[in-house]
Amino acid sequence: MRIEDEIKQAHFQDEHQKAIINLIYTSGWLQLRQACAFKRFALTSPQFNILRILRGQHPQPATVALLIERMLDKTSNASRIVDRLEEKKLVTRTVCPSNRRAVDIRITPAGLALLDQIEESGVMQAAAHASLSEAEARQLNDLLDKMRDTD
Amino acid sequence: MRIEDEIKQAHFQDEHQKAIINLIYTSGWLQLRQACAFKRFALTSPQFNILRILRGQHPQPATVALLIERMLDKTSNASRIVDRLEEKKLVTRTVCPSNRRAVDIRITPAGLALLDQIEESGVMQAAAHASLSEAEARQLNDLLDKMRDTD
DNA sequence: TGCAAATATATGTACGTACATTTAATGTCG
DNA sequence: CGACATTAAATGTACGTACATATATTTGCA
């Protein structure tokens, strides 16, 4: 369905304006699908992303600073997302011995098992599936990269 | 800058996976720019969007249901966004006489003046500016519309 | 008429985001 | 050494989102 019909707005100033609305709308649509997929595992998308970053580091620990660097959303509050993962025993927090200001965050066996379970379930593929060909996906990547070329 | 470098992730499963990350990242990047632009007017993006919808209806009122229908984010809580606009005297709420369950929401002269001021300031153009040609923007719109074709 | 279902909005709760401030540990330089 | 800046994380506050539930009004139908 075209964006005009999705949001019941017949006219846009120009194609750029429309692309921006379309982009934000489509991103929301995707994120809703992802959130939906994670819900049966009692995880949110940011929680899932942090678990994946921690698995990437495992068995090394990560600091909050490293999580922020790797997260899509730089300004999100990693500290509080880790709070929730810690409550669920999916990660541990220990004071870093070599720098007692920092905190070593590690994924637990339960966290690793949960990631495996999610990946086996195939919900990722379902949520990520989009009706684009390989070439179209590549084209989309190029356009998005170019779009951000203003800095 | 390419998405690989933006989020310091060298590899993606495939071009689709990358496009999804890229899309969500680019949408966040755009929304941050928009939020920044509105901040000097003490408005958030959802508040601005609701004001625009109300101007579109003006001098007719809108109901909460109409706002939700027109908003990008269908599940957002229009009622509470209207609360904040009402506190700022940018909109009024009155019980709809013909259907006392519904609420007539109207933009005030102050709300109209604020929209004018924002548009005169040119921040919209600045936030919306993207380095895509007209043809590229159209291509992007087509790809995004196609991407959502799964329902 | 009267009562249940449907409708319109508001409210509650958990979570995330944006940004400012606080707390604690470390580095630095006189 | 000791004051001061810097760094790492946590905390506070306002706002938005997602979803469940509550409240009030209207509608429909026995």
Is B84 (CB) below 7 Å from strand C?
no
| Residues from chain B contacting residue A151 (CB–CB below 8 Å) | 1
Q: Which of residues 69-128 of A touch strand C (CB under 7 A)?
A: 73-77, 80-81, 84, 99-101
B5-64 pLDDT, tens digit per residue, is: 777 776 888 888 889 999 999 999 999 999 999 999 999 999 999 999 999 999 999 999
A50-79 pLDDT, tens digit per residue, is: 999 999 999 999 999 999 999 988 788 999
**pLDDT at A78 (0 to 100):** 96
Cβ atoms of B45 and B38 within 8 Å: the answer is yes
Beta-carbon contacts of A62 under 8 Å, excluding residues fewer than 6 positions away, are A53, A54, A104, A105, A106
Best probe of the A interface among B68, B119, B141, by most A CBs < 10 A, is B141
User: Whole-number Å distance, CA A88 to C1' C13?
Assistant: 19
A23 touches chain B (CB under 8 A): yes
Domains and CATH numbers, chain B: 1-39 (no CATH), 42-122 (1.10.10.10)
**pLDDT at B141 (0 to 100):** 94
Average confidence (pLDDT) over B83-91: 97
The burial of B138, by beta-carbon neighbours within 10 Å (0-12 exposed, 13-18 middle, 19 or more buried), is given as middle
Give the Cβ contact number of residue B10 at 10 Å.
6
- B83-92 burial code (b ≥16 CB/10 A, e <16): eebeeeebbb
Label each residue of A64-118 as H, E or C. Answer: HHHHHHHCCCCCCCHHHHHHHHHHCCCEEEEECCCCCCCEEEEECHHHHHHHHHH
B141 touches chain A (CB under 8 A): yes
B124/A120: higher pLDDT: A120
Name the residue facing A149 among B23, B32, B131 (closest C-beta).
Answer: B131
**pLDDT at B93 (0 to 100):** 97
Asked whether residue A33 carries a pLDDT value surpassing 70, the answer given is yes
> Which stretches within B40-73 are classed as H helix?
45-57, 64-70
pTM exceeds 0.75 for this model: yes
Name the residue facing B72 among A7, A140, A151 (closest C-beta).
Answer: A7
Is B39 (CB) below 7 Å from strand C?
yes
Q: Which residues share a beta bridge with B95?
A: B103
**Residue B18: helix, strand or coil by DSSP?**
helix
